[in-house]
Structure 1
Amino acid sequence: MKLTKIALIVFALIIGVAGCSSDDDSSTTISYRDRTEVYAEDILEIETFLETHYLNLEDNAFDFVDLYNPSNDDFEIVFSALEDGSTETALIDMPQLKFKMVEDPAEEGLFYKLYYLEMRQGLGNEVHFIDKAVLTYEGSTTESFVFDNAINPTSFELTTVLSGGVVTGFRESLIEFKTATSFSENNDGTLAYHEHGIGAAFLPSGIGYFGQTLTTVSSYTPLIFKFNVFDRVLLDHDNDGIPSFLEDLDNDANVFDDDTDENSAPDFFDADDDGDGTNTIDEIELISYELDDDGLPFLTKADAQNHFDTSDQIDANEVLIDIQFDFSDNTYTLNTFVATDSNGNGIPDYLDDTYPEE
């Protein structure tokens, strides 16, 4: 899968270079172009594409009034070039085209305009920056050359942790969408997803592959990704009971800078977050709710959310993990954890190295 970043390889190269003696004149330094200069070229190329192409609905209609009409579940995005005299709406003028500013992963203070086309956001679960996402996709250049695709649902970890991960621009696009609410089985045994997110993103190379050369795509090439977001998996990298996205304590979408005990192992990769000798999983309480206060199952996601928001069963220090749909009986389960604060000092036990007392 060409989307996978090569963080380990780069790390190995850095270690290798650092280990070379200073009198070794045979070492080679890789020189990349100025990132600001490349961005200026990329955004011009992307916006030119958006101004000269449209969403082709000739063979694939889309219901813009009822976005979650079942007929839209099979919609596939197709872009075509505008011809002279065309009455089609250019992509740049579509109300569905949005953008966000994304900081360069390598150069602090440099931000990219990331355009994305939101055909529909999706009605399922939120996709977090460190989740595993399940999707179909197609990657192409502005010249409509397809360099990568997956026609069957495939999964990717969105943040590089030792291995896996996708490029920054793709991750930042996917987290703007939500998953499907349900699925059904087709006659051929394949699955049909419903009410999922459908979109496309237009990536400057600085949040793509930048100076890396793919087998079929040259370096410094802006990319286009079309995708359908079907599902997501909450990852718990250290198996401490707390999903990794909830270990981003400062909410800056970066789990690597949250290290409570300052032992160089960030909390999401540390089984004992506060370093007090008691594992995190033994300082929290994991709870699942399948019934409301009246003993009735949650028939909608809103029912489960309302239970968390209003029920006296919910502890003041209880944290929502997720609400899962059970396809076997069409009900929902509310999953939480209690961030116990035994000494009442306002710091949860799992982040408080003063508790338990020795």
Structure 2
Amino acid sequence: MRITKYTILVGTLLIALQACNKDDDGGQEIVPPRDRAEQQIAEAAILKSYLETHFFDTIPNPANPDYNIVTFDTIAGDNKDRQPISKSTLLQSKIVKFEEVDYTLYFLNFKKGAESKRNPTFADSTLITYRGELLYDLTPDDNNINTGKVFDNKVTPVWLDLFSPTAPAIIGFRESMVDYSGASSAVENSDGTVDFSQDFGNFTVFMPSGVGYYDRGSLNIPPYSPLIFTIQLYQINEADHDGDGIPSYLEDLDNDRNVLDNDDNTDGDSLANYSDRDDDGDGILTKDEITSIDANNDGFISSDEITYYDDDGDGIQNHLDKDDRSIKN
């Protein structure tokens, strides 16, 4: 596909927006969130029914031939003989655990992406096009400005930081991206455009609200709304948000796939390690307390390409230990 290199948008997009909770300043009563386990049972049934009673079609978009619009409709009337999504050979699923609840994500796998390319981690930056929609049309009774299904649509590729410091992408979106890869090649043309090979990742994911916006909702998304995203993944950049030589996903110290929590903030300051240039607050930058080299020149730093030190032998690596301040580079 061809895109203009210098007009690619960079941002966290609607996917990553954090909707404000309602309060009683405007006379509205604060309603506690629903029980997650009970809500998941209800939404699992809704998603299962949707997949059994709807079919899909793919329609090319004239504005971007590589951007496939996937449409969904009910199996009824003239469409009574259409195959339900649940019977498609493209349909797969995976379970994501969050807040001690198992959530099932369903995928229509159109293309997994180039085998030669690495999948993004949950904390990387991705170049994508996408279409986000609700399972069902909104009605005016929802008091919502948008009365249709589609709440966001990006036909021109945009960079999405899956774990932006200010607004990380919703869990279901992040956890769907990690199963796909980008295009095998990209060619920059003399006119400033970029052509990607046709083996980029392409899929639709159906997700419950528990790994979406849950009780928060947003301007165009009511609370407790299961979501559908159709995504094309073209390129991946490994994210090192603080530039300390340790990729952000490796700064998830408690391995819970969330780099923002207190367990990933060694010195207890206002910055979690993935966005803190001095993880232990000892005055020596993290990049100077480790040795990080992209040995195979693939553009990614893997864990075995980082040398950690423990000068005092206490089992705590220098960059996480205030007692060790030796500069290694």
**What TM bracket, shorter-length normalisation?**
0.7 to 0.9
Alignment of 1:1-358 (within 5 A): 1-6=13-18, 9=20, 28-56=29-57, 74=66, 76=68, 78-81=70-73, 82=75, 83-86=79-82, 88=83, 90-104=84-98, 108-123=99-114, 124-143=117-136, 145-161=149-165, 163-184=166-187, 190-194=193-197, 195-255=199-259, 256=261, 257-262=263-268, 265-289=271-295, 321=301, 336-342=305-311, 347-356=316-325
**Distance (Å, rounded) in 2 between the aligned partners of 1:50 and 1:240:** 45
| Paired residues of 1:55 and 1:77 also in contact (CA < 8 A) | no
The aligned amino acid for 2:233 is V
TM-score normalised by length of structure 1: 0.68
**Distance (Å, rounded) in 1 between the aligned partners of 2:270 and 2:136:** 45
Provide Cα deviations, 1:302-346, integer angstroms capped at 9, x if missing partner.
Answer: xx9xxxxxxxxxxxxxxx706xxxxxxxxxxxx943324556666
Q: 1:141 to 1:251 in 2, by over 3 A?
A: same
TM-score normalised by length of structure 2: 0.73
**Distance (Å, rounded) in 1 between the aligned partners of 2:219 and 2:271:** 35
The count of corresponding residues between Structure 1 and Structure 2 is 289
| Paired residues of 1:201 and 1:225 also in contact (CA < 8 A) | yes
Higher-Rg member (1/2):
1
Q: 1:28 to 1:78 in 2, by over 3 A?
A: closer
Moved over 4 A (4+): 185-190, 261-265, 341-347
**Distance (Å, rounded) in 1 between the aligned partners of 2:107 and 2:150:** 18
Q: 1:246 to 1:213 in 2, by over 3 A?
A: closer
% same residue: 34
Q: 1:76 to 1:52 in 2, by over 3 A?
A: same
Using the TM superposition, give the Cα deviation of residue 251 of structure 1 relative to its aligned residue in structure 2, in angstroms: 2.8
**Distance (Å, rounded) in 2 between the aligned partners of 1:181 and 1:101:** 28
**Distance (Å, rounded) in 2 between the aligned partners of 1:78 and 1:281:** 45
The aligned amino acid for 2:135 is T
**Distance (Å, rounded) in 2 between the aligned partners of 1:238 and 1:250:** 19
Q: 1:234 to 1:85 in 2, by over 3 A?
A: closer
Bigger Cα displacement from structure 2, 150-159 vs 37-46: 37-46
Q: 1:227 to 1:186 in 2, by over 3 A?
A: farther
Using the TM superposition, give the Cα deviation of residue 192 of structure 1 relative to its aligned residue in structure 2, in angstroms: 3.2
| Paired residues of 1:272 and 1:278 also in contact (CA < 8 A) | yes
Using the TM superposition, give the Cα deviation of residue 28 of structure 1 relative to its aligned residue in structure 2, in angstroms: 4.7
Secondary structure in structure 1 of the residue aligned to 2:250: helix
Using the TM superposition, give the Cα deviation of residue 150 of structure 1 relative to its aligned residue in structure 2, in angstroms: 0.0
**Distance (Å, rounded) in 1 between the aligned partners of 2:224 and 2:167:** 22
| Paired residues of 1:274 and 1:350 also in contact (CA < 8 A) | yes
Higher relative contact order (CA 8 A, sep 6+): 2
Using the TM superposition, give the Cα deviation of residue 279 of structure 1 relative to its aligned residue in structure 2, in angstroms: 1.8
**Distance (Å, rounded) in 1 between the aligned partners of 2:216 and 2:282:** 43
Q: 1:202 to 1:343 in 2, by over 3 A?
A: same
Structure 2 spans left out of the alignment, 5+ residues: 1-12, 138-148
| Paired residues of 2:126 and 2:161 also in contact (CA < 8 A) | yes
Q: 1:204 to 1:245 in 2, by over 3 A?
A: same
Secondary structure in structure 2 of the residue aligned to 1:41: helix
Provide Cα deviations, 1:72-131, integer angstroms capped at 9, x if missing partner.
Answer: x93725244343234x4x322334322222234xxx322211112222222222211122
Q: 1:217 to 1:267 in 2, by over 3 A?
A: closer
**Distance (Å, rounded) in 2 between the aligned partners of 1:168 and 1:265:** 21
Secondary structure in structure 2 of the residue aligned to 1:115: strand
Provide Cα deviations, 1:123-169, integer angstroms capped at 9, x if missing partner.
Answer: 222211122222100011223722211001112222252x1322221
Structure 1 spans left out of the alignment, 5+ residues: 18-23, 61-72, 291-297, 305-319, 323-334
Provide Cα deviations, 1:23-59, integer angstroms capped at 9, x if missing partner.
Answer: x9x89524444433433332222222211233436x6
| Paired residues of 1:53 and 1:79 also in contact (CA < 8 A) | no
**Distance (Å, rounded) in 1 between the aligned partners of 2:35 and 2:111:** 36
Q: 1:262 to 1:84 in 2, by over 3 A?
A: same
Q: 1:356 to 1:80 in 2, by over 3 A?
A: closer
Using the TM superposition, give the Cα deviation of residue 222 of structure 1 relative to its aligned residue in structure 2, in angstroms: 1.2
Secondary structure in structure 2 of the residue aligned to 1:78: strand
The aligned amino acid for 1:171 is R
Using the TM superposition, give the Cα deviation of residue 267 of structure 1 relative to its aligned residue in structure 2, in angstroms: 2.2
**Distance (Å, rounded) in 1 between the aligned partners of 2:268 and 2:192:** 50
